[in-house]
Amino acid sequence: MNLKPITLLSTLASQNLTNIFPNVVIALRIFCTLPVTVSEVERSFSLLSRVKNFLRSTMSEERLTSLGMLALENDLARSLNFDDVVDDFANKKSRKVHL
């Protein structure tokens, strides 16, 4: 019998057994959150090692930090409209006054 912790937790809640087994419920809730935390940390280290290995020879520390930040904030980076970013960058560059 292969029961998942979330299934056990749901069964305890649906059968109103949470008051009878409060420590089991707490342990199952903690156990359900542990794999998410561990895998996310491993994913971050894996991502950093891939970025380092790919561009190790010509990478400055500032550029590595920026690439790592982009990789971690992948959802935000995908939602950016690059035309707007280019326009903002061009407007900031064009405000320079040549003396």
Could you tell me if residue 98 is inside a domain? no
From the list 93, 63, 66, the residue with the least C-alpha distance to 77 is 66
Q: Are the C-beta atoms of 9 and 32 separated by less than 8 Å?
A: yes
Total domains, the chain: 2
**Separation between Cα atoms, residue 75 and residue 73, nearest integer Å:** 6
Could you tell me if residue 97 is inside a domain? no
Residues 4 and 26 in one domain: yes
Give the structural domain span for 31.
1-54
> Would you place residue 44 in the very low, low, confident or very high pLDDT band (cuts 50, 70, 90)?
low
**Separation between Cα atoms, residue 16 and residue 71, nearest integer Å:** 44
Q: Tell me: pLDDT of 39 over 70.
A: no
Could you tell me if residue 80 is inside a domain? yes
**Separation between Cα atoms, residue 70 and residue 11, nearest integer Å:** 41
What pLDDT score does 91 carry? 79
Residue given tokens 């520390």 in the structure block: 61
Q: Tell me: pLDDT of 90 over 70.
A: yes
